[in-house]
Amino acid sequence: MPLVLPPHFKSELRQLEGAGIDSWQQLADLHDDDLRRLGRSGGASEARLIKLRGQARLVVEAGVEPAEAALLLYAGIANCQGLSQANPHQLLIQMGRLQASLTGMAAPRLDLITLQSWIRRAQLRMARRATN
């Protein structure tokens, strides 16, 4: 999936593209040292790059859309392991509040079935990791 970021991440996108990173997978694969180097070499903030990497890991590992991964990060779910351990009912309430405050009422609301499927995918991913 190509790397498309919101306009307020313009400097981070420019840094990433300058480094040849143009997909969520490539961003997810970056190490802390890579992010530090990118943060020092231009207008991108290392902290914002770390958040973007977290978003990328949720996109790649949990199979969620970038906007959904951003909501998960705002809800405190920073990785596939955290998602695999989430309580779907609590997450639905928390994400509903966040979604309303961040996107307003125009965006379609998440539902319990969707969140349960994300959690199941994350659990399967974590189970596969444990057997490898």
Angle, CA of 67, 91 and 13, to the nearest 5°: 20
54 Cα distance to chain centroid: 5
Domain assignments of the chain as residue spans, ordered by start: 7-131
Question: In this predicted model, what pLDDT tens digit does every residue of 40-90 receive, in sequence order?
Answer: 887 778 889 999 999 999 999 988 999 889 889 988 898 999 999 999 999
Task: Provide the 10 A C-beta neighbour count for residue 57.
Answer: 21
Write down the pTM of the prediction: 0.84
Q: What is the pLDDT of residue 60?
A: 93
What does each C-alpha distance from 67 to 1, 33, 126 come to in angstroms? Answer: 13, 26, 22
